Amino acid sequence: MRVLVTGGTSGLGLAMACALAAAGAAVALTGRSGRRARTVAAGLPGAVGIELDVRDEASVARAVDEAWSRLGGVDMLVNNAGIGMRTVNPRFMTHVQGFWEVPAADFRAMVETNLTGYFLVAREVVPRMLAAGGGRVVNVSVSHSTMHRAGFVPYGPSRAGSEALSRVMAADLRGTGVTVNLLLPGGVTATGMLPPDAVPQGREVLAPDVMGPPIVWLASADAADVHDERINAVEFGHWLRDRHPVR
C-alpha cells in the first residue's frame, strides 16, 4: 500500500504516518516545510518527506507528482493537513470569541487550508486513481459538536464544510473503484492545535495514536469495499465488531 499523508509532520498526521509505516506501507508525508517533512520521514521505515502547501494549486501539483513518482503511485490519500482555532484565538478553550471579532483574513486562511486544501489535493490525486483503476481517500474530520460550538468560527465551519465535501466526493465516486471515508479521533486530542493547560481537569484527552488502528485497517484488504463511512477512532473496535459480528 502506497499512502500520501498531508500534514504528516506532527499530531494526527504523524501518528497515522507512523502506524502505516510500521504496518509496512510506503508513506509519503507532507508539510509546509520541506526540510521538516524530510527530517520526520527519515525516522520512519521507507517513508519520504515532501513539501506541500495545500492552499496553493501549483504546490499541490508538484507534491502529488513527486509522491506519485517516488512511491510508484498512490493507493491511498489521507487528507489531514489543517490549522486550528489556536491560530485565530490562542485562548479559544477559555475565552469565547464571537464570530464578529474574527478578522476576515483569518477566516479565509482557515477555510483555504481546512476545506479548499482537501479539495485541491483530492482533485489532483483522484483522476490518477481513476486512471489506475482504483484507490482510497480518507478525509480527517472532527466531532459534530466542534462544528457548531460557540467561539469556533472559523474552525467549526471549515470542518463542517470538509465533511460535506467528503460526502459529495463519495457520491460522485460511488461505483468507480475509488472509495471515500471520514475518520475522526472522537474527542479532544493532544496535538499542537491544543493550547497547553487548556483542558479542564478530569476531562479525558486522547493521544494522537488513537488514529493508528483505524487508518491501518482502512489501508488493508478488508476495507477495499468500505465507502462513505464516518469512523470514530475511539469507537473503532465497536464499529468493526458491529460490521463483522462474531458468529
47-97 residue pLDDT tens: 999 999 999 999 999 999 999 999 999 999 999 999 987 888 888 777 889
Pair 162, 115: CB distance under 8 Å: yes
Q: 155, 170, 181, 231: which one is catalytic?
A: 155
SS3 per residue for 64-112: HHHHHHHHCCCCEEEECCCCCHHHCCCCCCCCCCCHHHCCHHHHHHHHH
**What's residue 187's pLDDT?**
67
Pair 76, 136: CB distance under 8 Å: yes
| CATH class of the region 2-243 | alpha beta
pLDDT surpassing 80 at residue 204: no
pLDDT surpassing 50 at residue 247: no
Mean pLDDT, rounded, for 14-22 = 97
178-196 residue pLDDT tens: 999 999 997 676 665 555 5
| 234 backbone dihedrals φ, ψ, rounded to 5° | -60, -35
Mean pLDDT, rounded, for 135-150 = 93
Parse the chain into domains and list their residue ranges. Answer: 2-243
H or E stretch at 40:
helix 34-42
DSSP β-ladder status, 135-140 and 76-79: parallel
118 noted as active-site residue: no
